[in-house]
Amino acid sequence: MSSGEKAMRVERDSLGTMEVPAEAYYGAQTARAIQNFPISDLRFPRAFIRAVGLIKRAAAEVNADLGLLDRTLAEPIIRAAQEVADGALDAEFPLDIYQTGSGTSTNMNANEVIANRAAELMGAARGTKTVHPNDHVNVCQSSNDVVPTAIHLSALLVLREDLRPALDELEAALREKAQQFHGIIKTGRTHLMDATPVRLGQEFAGYADQVAGARRRIGYAEAELGEVALGGTAVGSGINAHPEFAARVCARLAELTGIPLRETAAHFQAQACLDAVVFASGTVRTYATALTKIANDIRWMGSGPRAGLAELVLPAVQPGSSIMPGKVNPVIVESVIQACAQAVGSDAVVAQGNQWGNFELNMMMPVMAHNLLGAIALLAAASRNFARQCVTGLEATERGPESVERGLMLATALAPVIGYDAAAEIAKEAALTGKTVREVALSRGGLTAEQLQEILNPQSMTEPGVRGIPGGD
């Protein structure tokens, strides 16, 4: 063997012998899959590998308790599986996302890594199968129930640990601005056209409520994801699995993670489709569209500074042009909008993937996992960055309040007093002459300056009620 060649060992699987790097913890089936799927540089994310490690650990503990796995084997398997969960063996998971649609390659990758590491912990050499990946690590399991369970568990982990804290941070930043901007009255906009007055703080309270709504919907998705396929084994019938295995593993996983999991009562649907994953992805997509709206509103209100709306000043975080000196662009907002677009696209892949459940098994699980987990992580990072580098530093200008008195839709408050048609005529005349609604209404007579002061009070127009008529206040 030359100095540039890797040392190899020979292992055997059901198809024959296979060369495996001598230092690798994975085995023949993983090595074969590396050759079979040289498609992309995409790999399962850390959260998924963590979930698989936790499932394998809990399975070994339960199988030992049930008498299905000798304690002398179970203890090193538990330790090795925890190392997988902790990320100590991530380099041993080289397989492409674009692989067998059930994720069998990655399930066997995990079984082989855990088996060889467990054997090593027992003093045996890698590749000896002192601990067998199928007979010991995979007891009571199939790729067909482990992989969908791992998708559910990993999604629950990243929702709880990444996205929820990011939503909390963004909502808090938006509510702080809502309070700070409460006294600022500006012209509202519908159809991008001038509408009745609104408080800038009311707009930001609306943004905060969108984030709160997203968190509530994610809670619904978490409830759906808490029901897992484990225990169905190959097709949902539970063949080769102890009747108590899945329920016990779910209970153990709940202890390990603090996430309530439960074995599904409908195993055949749980493996034939990933409806709960699509539902969860839909809630993530909904948040992506909400975040796009929030970010784009802020981008528009910060447009200018001379020729745009210029109602907000966004934090200047970097120069905006290689040719225009002094230009500053809303780059944080633009990064958020791009992340949201990617998340919406990821949801489309998840939805399409669920259509490919043929008979007793979905065959698009790896790509569905990749897109769901990727979208969650992406939106979490974008939300945190948006809160920290943009929202917290927003400042209001005088441009919004200055436009209120010239707003044509102040005439809306006149309609209950003089009628819609008469108020419309006043608005049209104001638009043609450049006068304010107040000036035109006063010149037409019928209403005194004092009455108009009450009716056309912008502050009052930002709250419920009708001014200027009996019983309107």
For residue 71, what are its two tokens? 């304690």
383 given a catalytic annotation: no
Give the pLDDT score at 465. 83
* Concatenated DSSP letters of 44-92: --HHHHHHHHHHHHHHHHHHHHTTSS-HHHHHHHHHHHHHHHHTTTGGG
Rounded alpha-carbon distances, angstroms, from residue 213 to 111, 219, 258, 340, 383: 40, 10, 24, 17, 15
What is 405-461's CATH topology?
A: Ribonucleotide Reductase Protein R1; domain 1 (1.10.40)
Pairing status of strand 395-396 against strand 312-313: antiparallel
Amino acid in the structure at residue 118:
A
What number does CATH give the domain 145-239+251-399? 1.20.200.10
Sign of CA dihedral 279, 283, 286, 292: negative
Q: Where are the CATH 1.10.275.10 domain residues in the chain?
A: 8-139
Rounded alpha-carbon distances, angstroms, from residue 296 to 4, 301, 333: 54, 9, 7
**Residue 350 · residue 372 · CB < 8 Å:** yes
* Concatenated DSSP letters of 424-453: HHHHHHHHHH---HHHHHHHH-SS-HHHHH
Give the pLDDT score at 183. 97
Which one is catalytic: 321, 335, 383, 403?
Answer: 321
CA-wise closest residue to 148 among 427, 361, 424, 384? 361
- Per-residue pLDDT reduced to its tens digit, 274-329: 999 999 999 999 999 999 999 999 999 999 999 999 999 999 999 988 898 889 99
Give the pLDDT score at 81. 98
Q: Which residues of the chain have pLDDT under 70?
A: 1-4, 468-473
Q: Where are the CATH 1.20.200.10 domain residues in the chain?
A: 145-239+251-399
How many C-beta neighbours within 10 Å does residue 226 have?
A: 18
Answer whether CATH 1.10.275.10 is correct for domain 8-139.
yes
Strand, coil or helix: what is 19?
A: strand
154 given a catalytic annotation: no
Strand, coil or helix: what is 147?
A: helix
**Residue 364 · residue 148 · CB < 8 Å:** no
For residue 130, what are its two tokens? 């002192």
Which one is catalytic: 2, 14, 191, 322?
Answer: 191
- Per-residue pLDDT reduced to its tens digit, 125-167: 999 999 999 999 999 999 999 999 999 999 999 999 999 999 9
Question: Rounded to 5 degrees, what angle do the CA atoms 408, 180, 167 make?
Answer: 105
Residue entry with tokens 């509408």: 195
Give the pLDDT score at 2. 55
Cβ-Cβ contacts under 8 Å for 61 (sequence gap 6 or more): 74, 78, 252
Give the pLDDT score at 473. 56
